[in-house]
Amino acid sequence: MSTTAETSPAKPVSTIRAATPDDVDAVFALVKELGIGPEADREAFGAVFLSTVANSTDHLILVSERAGTVVAYAVATILHPLYTRGDAAHLQELVVSAAASGHGIGSQLVDAIERECRARGVTQLTVSILRGAGFYERLDYRSTSDYLKKSFVVD
């Protein structure tokens, strides 16, 4: 059971909703602010974002708004592995702007992803992280394996 409610403020600090095509510029700005990996290409990003928003069967992309401005987003993919009883999901990205960080918005987004996964019959949700393990541990996530990656991107 997630302890998201226990670690988040009682009063919602933002509005969580499904991303729409109109959010492309705001989410791209958050990706650029994150600043990891190769520099984001706006045209390529736009195509992937629009495809992800349109494919709501295998993807969840939620945004968090404060005062009408998108300040965070989360992306999860829904997989159909052969070794589980039901679908599995993987939280691919969780990004909160520096200005909105520390106000419980990340916890709100994780909670919203968890609720949507349960509503879709997903039986497990995993997350891979480079930093911030303590955040997820407070939300009742536990390490179960190492995550190894091989990149095919050439800089």
CA distance 15 to 107: 12
Higher pLDDT, 148 or 16: 16
- pLDDT surpassing 90 at residue 37: no
Q: Show me where the domains of the chain are located.
A: 4-138
The percentage of residues in the chain with a pLDDT greater than 70, rounded to a whole number, is 76
Whether pLDDT at 3 is above 50: no
What pLDDT, in 10s, does the model give residues 108-140? 999 999 999 999 999 888 887 656 667 777 777
Diameter over CA atoms, the chain: 45
Global pTM value: 0.78
Q: What is the CATH number of domain 4-138?
A: 3.40.630.30
**Cβ 54 vs Cβ 146: under 8 Å:** no
Closest to 109 in 3D by CA, of 88, 130, 87, 136: 136
Cβ(72)–Cβ(95) below 8 Å? yes
Residues 72 and 100 sit within 8 Å (Cβ to Cβ): yes
Q: How many CA atoms lie within 13 Å of 34's alpha carbon, on the beta-carbon side?
A: 21
Q: Cβ distance 119 to 131 under 8 Å?
A: no
What integer pLDDT is reported at residue 12 of this predicted model? 60
Closest CA relative to residue 119, chosen from 76, 148, 71: 76
